[in-house]
Amino acid sequence: MKQVPVLIAGGGPVGMTLARTLAHLGVRCLMVERNGSTTRHPKMDITNGRSMELFRRLGLADRLRAVAVPEANNFDVSWITSLAREQGGRELHRFRYPSVVEKRAEILARNDGTQPREPAMRVSQVLIEPVLRDATVGHPLVDARWGVALEDFEQDGDGVLVTLRVAETGDNGPGNNQAGATEQVRCQYLVGCDGGSSRVRSKLGIALEGRPAVAQRYMVHFRSDAHDLLQAFGIAWHYQTAKGTLIAQDDKDAWTLQTRPPPGVDPAAIDPDAVLDAWAGRPFAREILVANPWVTHLVLAESYGSGRVFLAGDAAHQYIPTGGYGMNTGIGDAVDLGWKLAATLRGHAGPGLLTSYERERRPVGLRNRLASERHTAVRLKIAELYESMTDPVALGRAIAALGNAENESWGIEFGYRYDGVEGDPLVYEPTMAPGARLPSTFLRDGSALYDHLGPWFTLLRFGDADPSPLIDTAPVPLETVIVDDAYLASIYQARLVLVRPDTHIAWRGDACDDGDAVWRGVLG
């Protein structure tokens, strides 16, 4: 019987990020994905700046940007009447957002701790997953299998016995690869990254709270060179009406329309061509790649696991796609749980560290669900305005006044803290409070402080503070970075700053009298 430290059920972005995090920290894992290949559905289209910081830590940022929208292209969101200008279609209001090139310049110019290490990235999940798959399959500490599903599991005090089943042809590893063949694997920990219909969550009996089945939606993913129509008002990330959103997946020929199904029509009987023509305002040439109805949910798991079994990503929380909260929240789950599993398995942590996963991440999941609800309410209000207002100028002003918080919630993105303190969801204000994300800055030589952080813990030393009490008692790999810069010292507000593997602040102070006590508090 195969034995592994960690078995990950689900090979989407969250599962693959968890696998890479474990491997980055020297821990083996087996990851299984029930589908035989990466997704055909575009799903999310924004990887936010915080996720890109975490991907950079894993050495994946440049690989992902290579398949993303060109860095010179904007992130604009435009509300329109229709795309067909020749039939009176017009742009009502455009929310303007900088390109990656422009954002990088702003980050370097400000260097005050308010900016991310990495700008956000426009890219479809269809393109993200193959990059993550190549990086995952290519790592010697990851056994990754596609076409293999988790069938069942039983846990005891020492581990989890998992039954796997070959679901379909894929890269499903050694042994019997015939559909239906089963295998038992023993692991110390099991993580369900297996999506909204999570078998792991169901087996644990964990309920979902919130608002299921909020709305019916219809998705059409297609290719088209009809730029005269699909970019009628110039390049934009999203073109939006009261009935849906056209997403420019690559600013070339890949697009996705997310819309409401026609009233009174069986979703299974919807003609995607008719949907596209009606939304755009006129017919145009295209190739439909995928089209299907789907249902939006606003739910959160009552618990993020039980015993030696944990949940992450959509298995733990499901949101309406506005703002890209689903995958991006899941990436944070994967990194948080990943380093804690690695620290526990390598003997660096106490028994309480893994219990902190739910304590830290579930409040983030709840906060993001509530934010998604607020964004949905704004969308509904705009839909009402489309129905009640006939003057396009006035309608555009009303949309502008309501704002676009779903794409401007920098506090949601960077400001979440693990000390229970809530900040402004729209504003990121750097803080050095333990549990907060370490503010990102650049050193005098132009290098990013984030790029000097070690894979495990890092101790930042400012001035002549004595780091020896923390270094001498460290139960985990620790790197020390000396920062000789009075300006940066004023930002970080302490002479000693201890940084976790996920770049959240573990502890800070001007001196340390009891290193053992600090580490016990940090590592459980």
Let me know whether 359 and 453 are in one domain: no
Q: Is the Cβ–Cβ distance between 185 and 7 less than 8 Å?
A: yes
At 180 the pLDDT is 86
- 177: pLDDT strictly greater than 80: no
pLDDT of residue 298: 94
- Asked if residue 360 and residue 457 are part of one domain, the reply reads no
In this prediction, residue 33 carries a pLDDT of 97
Which DSSP category does 424 fall into? -
Q: Is 412 within a domain?
A: no
165 shares its domain with 48? yes
Question: Rounded to 10 degrees, what is the CA torsion of 465, 466, 467, 470?
Answer: -120
C-beta of residue 439 within 8 angstroms of C-beta of residue 487:
no
Two tokens at 96?
């303007």
Residue where one domain finishes, among candidates 364, 392, 419: 364
For residue range 222-262, list pLDDT tens digits in order.
999 999 999 999 999 999 999 899 999 999 999 999 998 87
Residues 455 and 351 in one domain: no
Q: What angle do CA 243, 257, 127 make, to 5 degrees?
A: 150
Q: Summarize pLDDT for 34-62 with one digit per residue, the tens.
A: 999 998 888 888 999 999 999 999 999 99
Instruction: Answer yes or no: do 360 and 453 share one domain.
Output: no
Do both 353 and 495 map to the same domain? no
Residue 371's Cβ-count burial label (10 Å; 0-12, 13-18, 19+) is: buried
**If we measure between CA atoms, which residue out of 489, 496, 495, 503 comes closest to residue 457?**
503
pLDDT confidence tier of residue 168, bands split at 50, 70 and 90: confident
**Count of structural domains, the chain:** 2
The bridge status of strand 287-301 relative to strand 317-318 is: antiparallel
Return the pLDDT at 344. 98
253 found inside a domain = no
Claim to verify: residue 453 and residue 330 sit in the same structural domain: no
pLDDT for the residue numbered 175? 58
- Using DSSP, state whether 490 is helix, strand or coil: helix
- In this predicted structure, the answer to whether residue 210 has a pLDDT above a threshold of 90 is yes
Residue 142 falls within a domain, yes or no?
yes
146 beta partners: 33
Domain containing 151: what range?
Answer: 2-68+118-207+299-364
User: Of 364, 399, 421, which residue is a domain's last?
Assistant: 364
Q: What are residue 322's phi and psi, to 5 degrees?
A: -55, 130
Render the burial of 172-186: b for 16+ CB within 10 Å, e for the rest. bbeeeeeeeeebebe
Task: Cite the DSSP H helix spans in 389-452.
Answer: 392-402, 410-414
Question: By CB neighbour count within 10 A (0-12 exposed, 13-18 middle, 19+ buried), where does 331 fall?
Answer: buried
Position 139 in a domain: yes
CA distance 468 to 462: 14
Do 453 and 328 fall within a single domain? Answer: no
Predicted confidence (pLDDT) at residue 171 exceeds the cutoff of 80: no
- DSSP 8-class letter at 366: H
Judge whether residue 417 has pLDDT over 80. yes
The encoded tokens of residue 257 equal 């329309």
Domain closes at, from 344, 364, 384: 364
8 Å CB contact between 371 and 407: no
- Examine the domain organization and report whether 18 and 134 are in the same domain: yes
Residue whose structure tokens are 């209000």: 381
With cut-offs at 50, 70 and 90, classify the pLDDT of residue 410: very high
How confident is the model at residue 174, as a pLDDT?
Answer: 61
Give domain status of residue 265, yes or no.
Answer: no
Kindly state the tokens that stand for 493.
Answer: 């507000």
Quick check: 112 pLDDT over 70?
Answer: yes
What is the rounded average pLDDT for all residues in the chain?
Answer: 94
**Within a domain: 183:** yes
In tens, the pLDDT along 336-391 reads 999 999 999 999 999 899 999 999 999 999 999 999 999 999 999 999 999 999 99
pLDDT tens column, 292-313: 999 999 999 999 999 999 999 9
* Residue 8 placed within a domain: yes
pLDDT at 269: 87
Report pLDDT for 214: 86
The percentage of residues in the chain with a pLDDT greater than 70, rounded to a whole number, is: 98
Strands 238-241 and 305-306: unpaired
What is the predicted pLDDT for the residue at 176? 59
Q: Cα–Cα distance between 192 and 180 in angstroms, integer?
A: 21
Answer yes or no: are the C-beta atoms of 461 and 147 closer than 8 Å: no
Residue 220 — pLDDT band, cuts 50, 70, 90? very high
* pLDDT at site 173: 62
**Same domain assignment for residues 460 and 352:** no
Cα–Cα distance for residue pair 273/277, rounded to 1 Å = 6
CATH number for 488 = 3.40.30.120
CATH number of domain containing 311:
3.50.50.60
Q: Which stretches of 415-514 are DSSP H helices?
A: 468-472, 486-492
Q: Please give the average per-residue pLDDT across 457-483, as a whole number.
A: 96
| Dihedral (CA of 303, 304, 306, 312) sign | positive
Whether residue 480 sits in one domain with residue 345: no
**41 and 181 assigned to the same domain:** yes
Kindly state whether residue 360 falls inside one of the protein's structural domains.
yes
CA distances (Å), 187 to each of 4, 72, 144, 206, 515, in order? Answer: 5, 46, 15, 21, 33
The backbone region for 230, taken as left when phi is positive above 0, alpha when psi lies in -120 to 50, beta otherwise, is: alpha
